[in-house]
Amino acid sequence: MTEKQAHIVEVGPRDGLQYEQPVPLQAKIRLIEQLIEAGVRYIEAGSFVSPKRVPQMADTAEVLNQLKRHDQVTYCTLTPNLKGLELAQAHQVKEIAVFASASEDFSQRNLNCSIAESIAQFTEVIHQAKAYGMQVRGYVSCVLGCPHEGRIEPQQVIDVAKQLYDQGCYQISLGDTIGVGTANQARQLVQSLSSVIPVTDLALHFHDTYGQALSNICACLDLGVRTFDSSVAGLGGCPFAEGASGNLATEDLVYCLEGQGLSTGLNLHQLIQAGDAICQVLQKRNQSKVAQALRHKINI
């Protein structure tokens, strides 16, 4: 990747849809197909988690079975334990993701274990995944704030991120899970982390709950971050702020990055079409500001 290229991780089919009402299997498959047609080359296709906890992801195996795989596309699944890893391996998944929290309280409530216990569990998953020849991506949630603890200090994030990185995660995605961070906080966090993890191995997963995601990303561009997570149509919400938006819309991110002179390789009009199509299934409005502004120009 050159200095003028940006890599977008499309999380809509997993992180987006897991907070929406369940959608039919074929609608998920069509969404992924449309994203690929728009140029997306990294897609979170689902997660192997308990269907009782996340019923929206219960059909991940079937999604993978029915997808027409493309060699140039990475289909990642969230795989928090060894059982999930075995399912991922059985369905020819080449890359998985694990997620820890920088907040002790959030870890207890969301993962039912301490940060230390979660790292120990993920260490087993990472080592076994690498034995299978899989790549492992690591998420750290609540990096700029926690719904229970409030402000999270950079050192808390560094401690967790460094452990995942040292265990073998090739990239660490920093998640502002509740979208409360501001540009200066985001920049300071990346600067602090870059002293222990190469900035080229960091990604930003900033939610837009307070409308700050794009400004936070822009504040980190000159530090060298070039990988960004987003969700087409802004799919997903924030479970800790009822009625608020969650994920940053991929359409808005592409428009912003291209405007900054970075190439994403994605077709904005096709992204808008993909977002509108899944929103019709969900019977909701496309949350992307760019999609709302440009729709009339592309006859949607």
The CATH number of residue 155's host domain is 3.20.20.70
Confidence at residue 238, expressed as pLDDT on a 0 to 100 scale: 67
Q: Which of 146, 220, 238, 279 is catalytic?
A: 238
pLDDT confidence tier of residue 203, bands split at 50, 70 and 90: very high
Give the closest residue to 76 by CA, choosing from 124, 30, 39, 129. Answer: 129
Confidence at residue 298, expressed as pLDDT on a 0 to 100 scale: 59
Alpha carbons 255 and 245: distance in angstroms, whole number: 19
Please report whether residue 2 resides in a domain: no
Number of domains in the chain: 1
Among the residue ranges 40-49, 62-71, 203-212, 231-240, the one predicted with the least confidence is 231-240
Please state the separation of Cα 146 from the chain's center in Å: 18
Confidence at residue 299, expressed as pLDDT on a 0 to 100 scale: 56
Among the residue ranges 10-19, 56-65, 234-243, 284-293, the one predicted with the least confidence is 234-243
Mean pLDDT, the chain, rounded, equals 94
> Percentage of the chain surpassing pLDDT 70?
95
Expressed in angstroms, the distance from the first to the final Cα of the chain is: 33
pLDDT confidence tier of residue 240, bands split at 50, 70 and 90: low
Kindly state the average pLDDT of the residues 175-195: 97
Contacts of 118 (CB under 8 A, 6+ apart): 100, 101, 107, 111
pLDDT tens string 137-155: 999 999 999 988 999 999 9
Please report whether residue 110 resides in a domain: yes
pLDDT tens string 41-78: 999 999 999 999 899 999 999 999 999 999 999 999 99
Q: Is 256 tagged catalytic?
A: no
pTM: 0.95
Please report whether residue 1 resides in a domain: no
Give the closest residue to 187 by CA, choosing from 223, 233, 147. Answer: 223
Give the closest residue to 234 by CA, choosing from 270, 260, 208, 210. Answer: 208
Contact 233, 19 (CB under 8 A): no
Please report whether residue 238 resides in a domain: yes
Kindly state the average pLDDT of the residues 22-42: 98
Domain carrying residue 127: 7-298
Q: Given a cut of 60, is residue 1 above it in pLDDT?
A: no
